[in-house]
Amino acid sequence: MIRIPYGKGELTLDIPEGRCRLAEPVVRDVIGPPLEAFRACLAHPTGSMPLEDLAAGRTVTYLIDDATRAEPHEDFIRAVLERLGRARLVRGILATGCHEPLTEGNQRIAEQFRAIAAGLGLRHEMLIHDAEDGSAHVRLGETSRGTPVEVDRRALESDVLVITADAKNHYFAGYSNPLKNFLPGICSFTTTEKNHAFALEPAATFGHHPWHPDPARRSNPVAEDMLEGAAMIIAGRDVFVLASVITAEGVVWCGAGDMEAVTREALGQVDQAATVGVEPARCLIVSPGGHPQDETLYNAQRGLELSRSAVREGGEILFLARCPDGVAHSAKARAEFYDRLTAPLDEVIGGLEAQYVLYSHKAYKFARLLQSVRRLYMVTDLSEEQVGAAHMEKVEDAQQVVDRWLRESDEPIVINARANKVALYR
């Protein structure tokens, strides 16, 4: 029996031993509970003076991942704020990018920040970035690729920039990493839309980033543009990063200090902790990893992209994503992702190659995947009509699909049970 995350629970599949390949990275030792690990890491920064000395007498802007990121926000915040007692002012900004700003989860993180800061006696303020608030942004210029860098002006009112982030694979930006808290984290909708248009290029894929340890994996147009935009935002300010790599077992690595040094190490650590080499198979089972990774189809789709190398052309996929909150987190995301995907696949691809709009890169990549496989089944709370309109087939019983696969072939079935974080390479 194999238990696979699904929503806040699990689905159980009966697959005989030897008939499946569970794609799991080598288990790493947990270095400690998150707060303890972060405190220990901050005590020994890499390439930087201690955070408490860097911040002394200065204004600090602290960029925090929003609630769509499954990470120990409260532990990150407490560990950082404990070191900022000598700062003149600590300004927290929730780096939402183009996600919905005023969600329940974001409000909860903001209140955690305020409560901890007040308890520590810090002079502080807490803000939530809104990419669509034109009055909040200032234009700094353009990157060499023509991306206008429009940034939340409140982030620039500081001497020191602090970032916390959990690093993981990202299907078109290479990796989620501290740089993303600048662009798209605190940039305008226009900036993010232009940057994300590069996601349609073949080189925009996971495992590639300009700061990757392997020179052969440093080309990624989205990440290169992000890096250039971040440099314009930083503009000579001191930057201090606390980054982690967190698996299902817990925190397996963290680093603190200089942004480039810490991020470079983080990317290598993600490769060790969250990538698996596989031989492409006829049949593939994908779970994004359960809640909150499968709250919407928009979120869950990432797991398909990080797993697609494991299925052969003309193969079949069983996608286990509950999606209790529907197809997307906002009306705009629904329109440019899901609604576009309901068109004939050739139209989806051709239309977006002609003119890109934000959120539509997901429709583009999803359409490419759907064209490459024979069938994509989905177990989900979405309706049969919603699933069918997106060129998939809803099934109520995942075991029935598995049983048919077992009858039709002796070939093992590949399973990625934490696909939003674990990338599969052929």
Q: Each residue's pLDDT tens digit in the chain (426 positions)?
A: 899 999 999 999 999 988 999 988 887 889 999 999 999 999 999 999 999 999 999 999 999 998 878 889 999 999 999 999 999 999 999 999 888 898 898 999 999 999 999 999 999 999 999 999 989 999 999 999 999 999 999 999 999 999 999 999 998 999 999 999 999 999 999 999 999 999 989 899 999 999 999 999 999 999 999 999 999 999 999 999 999 999 888 999 999 999 999 999 999 999 999 999 999 999 999 999 999 899 999 999 999 999 999 999 999 999 999 999 999 988 888 998 999 999 999 999 998 888 887 878 889 999 999 999 999 999 999 999 999 999 999 999 999 999 999 999 999 999 999 999 899 987
**Under a CB-based contact definition with an 8 Å cutoff, are residues 84 and 52 in contact?**
yes
**Under a CB-based contact definition with an 8 Å cutoff, are residues 38 and 74 in contact?**
no
In this structure, is the dihedral angle defined by the CA atoms of residues 351, 353, 359 and 364, taken in order, positive or negative? positive
CATH 3.40.50.11440 domain position(s) in the chain: 34-274
d(CA 226, CA 184): 8
Q: CB within 8 A of 325, min separation 6: which ones?
A: 295, 296
- How much is the pTM? 0.88
Three-state secondary structure string covering the chain: CEEEEECCEEEEECCCCCCEEECCCCCCCCCCCHHHHHHHHHCCCECCCCHHHHHCCCEEEEEEECCCCCCCHHHHHHHHHCCCCCCCEEEEEEECCCCCCCCHHHHHHHHHHHHHHHHCCCCEEEEECCCCCHHHEEEEEECCCCCEEEEEHHHHCCCEEEEEEECEEECCCEEECHHHHCCCCCECHHHHHHHHHHHHCCCCCCCCCCCCCCHHHCCCHHHHHHHHHHHHHHCCCEEEEEEEEEECCEEEEEEEECHHHHHHHHHHHHHHHHEEECCCEEEEEECCCCCCCCCCHHHHHHHHHHHHHHEEEEEEEEEECCCCCCCCCCHHHHHHHHHHHCCCHHHHHHHHHHCCCCCHHHHHHHHHHHHHCCEEEEECCCCHHHHHHCCCEECCCHHHHHHHHHHHCCCCEEEECCCCCCEEEC
Which pLDDT belongs to residue 25? 86
Which pLDDT belongs to residue 287? 97
- Residue where the block lists tokens 């689905």: 11
Conformational region of residue 32, where left means phi above 0, alpha means psi within -120 to 50, and beta covers everything else: left
CATH 3.90.226.30 domain position(s) in the chain: 2-23+278-425
**Under a CB-based contact definition with an 8 Å cutoff, are residues 98 and 60 in contact?**
no
**Under a CB-based contact definition with an 8 Å cutoff, are residues 426 and 278 in contact?**
yes
The fold for domain 2-23+278-425 equals 2-enoyl-CoA Hydratase; Chain A, domain 1 (3.90.226)
In this structure, is the dihedral angle defined by the CA atoms of residues 143, 147, 150 and 151, taken in order, positive or negative? negative
Which pLDDT belongs to residue 360? 83
d(CA 49, CA 47): 7
Which pLDDT belongs to residue 82? 98
The CATH classification number of 34-274 equals 3.40.50.11440
In this structure, is the dihedral angle defined by the CA atoms of residues 14, 19, 25 and 27, taken in order, positive or negative? positive
d(CA 163, CA 80): 9
